[in-house]
Amino acid sequence: MQKLGAALATVLKDPDTVRRLNDVGAQPGTLSASQFDAFSRSEYARYGKLIAELGVRLD
């Protein structure tokens, strides 16, 4: 996980990459492992029930 985080931080130092991500509505940034865990848990709590109720599935 640390290796992936370091690689992502390197990529996000490139202004062209950041611009391209912004152009498609992304909010580029990095999170520590614990921050990512908290974020993913909050998103699951936010959308998990709705996804289940709608029956959304990956094909």
Q: Above 80 in pLDDT, residue 1?
A: no
Cβ-contact 8, 30 below 8 angstroms: yes
Angle, alpha carbons 6-11-16 (nearest 5°): 160
Per residue in 6-55, pLDDT tens? 888 899 999 999 999 999 999 888 888 889 899 999 999 999 999 999 99
Give pLDDT, residue 33. Answer: 82
Give pLDDT, residue 14. Answer: 93
Confidence of residue 5 (pLDDT cuts 50, 70, 90): confident
Give pLDDT, residue 22. Answer: 95
